[in-house]
Amino acid sequence: MSNATRRASKKGSRWATAVAHPNIALAKYWGKLPGDGNVPAVPSLSVTLAGMRTTTTVAFDATLVDDELILDDQLQAANGRAKIRATQLLDRVRAAASTTSRARIVSANDFPTASGLASSASGFAALALAAVHAADLDWSAERVADLARRSSASAARSVFGGFVELDGGAEGGASRVVAGPNALDLRVIVAVTTEAAKSTSSTDGMKLTQERSPYYAAWVADAPDAHARMRAAVVAGDFTRVGELAERSALSMHACAMAAGIVYVTGATLAALAEVRAMRASGLEAYATIDAGPHLKCLARCADVAAVHERLAAVPGVVRIIETRPGEGARLADEDAS
């Protein structure tokens, strides 16, 4: 169906369903600029991951007195954090579309929610795209990404597919594609260490890090160079360099946060990290990255996925493995061919 036809058939129906994948930052962002713009303090670069997905339907309904959010089959409390954040995004869409209509949001992840697997990234990317189309706004992907970023900065990157950068610092906030999904011989093998939600949100963890970490200024000063090196490695298709830089970025971010008392890793995360390093020592080239949660994501070449899978699955505390690959950006469900 062409875009024009789809828009015409959607007109009046006031609902839309969107699909988005999480992304994993290869060069991390951690920390925000002052103010309420939700602009990252540092630039970041990620890869969007097919193999995990969020599916979200937004339906505007003039008979509703409040927005409703059903997340993974659970109706969320009206004053709960998830529902309040969803309403904030919808308020921006309502203002742009000149409507006051409330909406019902039904969203589901096929992976653990809010546990450091970037569910907020795929969640807000899918919500932004579905809400914009349900409101019949004809927005560019860049504008949808900007809307998503205001709710969760990393969500801007999930609007796009492949390798994606998000600007940070003084001119920050914009995001764009750096290279397509096939730019690198790369697979990401996720070692899930718990199905539970994490205890400190990334927003709270960043705030405490900015207030308390003696290493925060050094992290911010180093980030533009770290990002530029990663960008060059991705564009060159250099798996080894991408892996080395990604592991260093993750460990720098966690060192900075840990110095403020924020510890996302558990014994299982560290055991998995040790196993990744043992793989490298034995000639199996793999690298680790860790976000604001206890799971480990392992970067490997396509040909090594089975070997990496087997070794990570045997690590005590790893409960299951998810194999992912560079994938597409957010899209409407009726455009979804995967």
Q: Which residues bind ligand PMV (CB under 6 A)?
A: 25, 28-30, 44, 120-121, 152-154, 202-203, 291-292
Q: Which residues of 273-305 are buried (b: 16+ CB within 10 A; e: fewer)?
A: bebbeebeeeeeebbbbbbbbbbbbbbbbeebb
The set of residues, in sequence order, having a beta carbon less than 8 Å from that of 214 and lying 6+ positions away, is: 259
CB closer to ligand PMV out of 28 and 133: 28
The least distance separating ligand PMV from the CB of residue 37, rounded to whole angstroms, comes to 13
Whose Cβ is closer to ligand PMV: residue 38's or residue 101's?
Answer: 38
The nearer residue to ligand PMV, 291 or 304, going by C-beta atoms, is 291
Closest listed residue to residue 209, CA positions, set 259, 251, 169: 259
CB nearer to ligand PMV: give 102 or 173: 173
Nearest approach in angstroms of CB 306 to ligand PMV is 27
Give the integer Cα–Cα distance in Å for 129 and 65. Answer: 23
Residue 55 CB, shortest distance to ligand PMV, in Å, is 19
Cα-based distances in Å from 280 to 179, 243, 259, 283: 26, 11, 28, 5
Q: Which residue lies nearest ligand PMV, judged by its C-beta? A: 25
Minimal CA–CA distance to 15: which of 126, 124, 133, 102? 133
Nearer to ligand PMV, 295 or 309 (CB): 295
Of 26 and 134, which has the nearer Cβ to ligand PMV?
26
Task: List C-alpha distances in Å: 282 to 144, 279, 307, 311.
Answer: 45, 5, 12, 12
Closer to ligand PMV at the Cβ: 152 or 175? 152
Residue closer to ligand PMV by CB (options 152, 324) is 152
Report d(CA 47, CA 181) in Å as an integer. 8
DSSP per residue, 258-292? HTTT-----HHHHHHHHHHHHHHHTT--EEEE--S
Minimum CB–partner distance for residue 151 and ligand PMV (Å): 9
Q: How far is the CB of 11 from ligand PMV (least distance, A)?
A: 33
Nearest distance from C-beta of residue 46 to ligand PMV, angstroms: 6
Identify whether the C-beta of residue 43 lies closer than 8 Å to the C-beta of residue 168.
yes
Q: How far apart are CB 198 and ligand PMV at their closest, in Å?
A: 11
Question: What does each C-alpha distance from 8 to 11, 14, 60, 134, 136 come to in angstroms?
Answer: 5, 11, 17, 12, 9
**Which residues are registered as beta bridge partners of 61?**
102
Strand partners, 175: 166
40 φ/ψ angles, rounded to the nearest 5 degrees? -60, 145
Q: How far is the CB of 119 from ligand PMV (least distance, A)?
A: 9
Q: Is 42 helix (H, G, I), strand (E, B) or coil?
A: coil
